[in-house]
Amino acid sequence: MDVSVTLWVLTIVGLAALIAVDFFIGRKPHDVSIKEAGIWTIVWIALAALFGLGLLVFSGGQPAGEFFAGFITEKSLSVDNLFVFVLIMAKFAVPTQYQQRVLLVGVLIALVLRTIFIAAGAAIISNFAWVFYIFGAFLIYTAWKLIQEARADEPEEEFEENKLLKAAEKRFGVADRYYGTKLWIQQNGKRVMTPMLVVMLAIGTTDVLFALDSIPAIFGLTQDPYIVFTANAFALMGLRQLYFLIGGLLRKLVHLSYGLSVILGFIGVKLVLHALHESGVHVPEISIPVSLGVICVVLVVTTITSLIASKKQAALEASDGAPQTPASDPASDPTSEKSPTNSIDV
């Protein structure tokens, strides 16, 4: 897809305008309701769909299919990020009314860092076709690792701060409490970070770790930097509202890791086949319509089986926790004529 500098500029300006509108609407700290989160989630998905339809009209079916496949993949991988975001919010005890501001700025940091990753990835791919072997092998390994972690069924871990975050805290110091939405304050004559800034950096830098598998994954669906960037942008910018919308549903998606492992493994195989094809080996390549179909089917099946499993688990826990009253013990039945309680005249 031939993208002019003008189109790049217009796209970035348009995305910046949407982010600005989102920021000013949610500028006042408040608890985000399910209704508000639901409306904005629909808005972001609708905007992504309109962008994809625009690609279909002006550029054809191939770029549009690549965008939708990339957007759905990045969106599904970003849902996995929300588990970590929940841990970060708990680790730093972020007040509920400030969580939306934390997520907005954190996602913006992640978008900037991912843009750098995308530019680097595009440059490497254009010069070294063999890198597809590395990307494919990495995704297959990540898929296997996800399955191993899911099968281990380990208890939920606490968020551990990365080295960059620890270095920033050591260099500037951190205030002992939140000061509204302020990022810096003067404390004992020294300018220090507030916990608000620390948690924003935690969200943004942690998301970069997830980019290590999501960026190769989307490059397995398209090598067009414009589509890679826009798919990532639309997937990330709706992440804040998605956090509040499905926060309670996250724990019910018990099979999500299995679904993501299938998707990553599938794209990994697709990358290896593409690399072999580029090397002159006659192997079948997986088309975008097939990729899009596989991704959608896996996500639908994963969601359905997760909800069924969660419902069964909840019913089992409810039955195990129900109080047991032996029917054969007359003393335990207050309505029995032999019960000592009935023989006492109060």
What pLDDT was estimated at residue 336? 42
CA–centroid distance for 204 within its chain: 12
pLDDT tens-place string over residues 160-211: 666 777 887 888 888 888 888 888 888 878 888 988 888 888 887 777 666 7
Element of type H or E holding 12 = helix 5-25
State the DSSP code for 174. Answer: B
Q: Which of 76-90, 136-150, 213-227, 259-273 has the lowest mean pLDDT?
A: 76-90
Alpha-carbon span 247 to 86, nearest angstrom? 8
The mean pLDDT of 38-58, rounded to a whole number, is: 91
The least confident of 32-41, 61-70, 158-167, 178-187 is: 158-167
Q: Is 307 exposed, middle or buried (0-12, 13-18, 19+ CB in 10 A)?
A: middle
Within 8 A by CB and 6+ apart from 258, the residues are: 146, 147, 150, 302
pTM for the model: 0.74
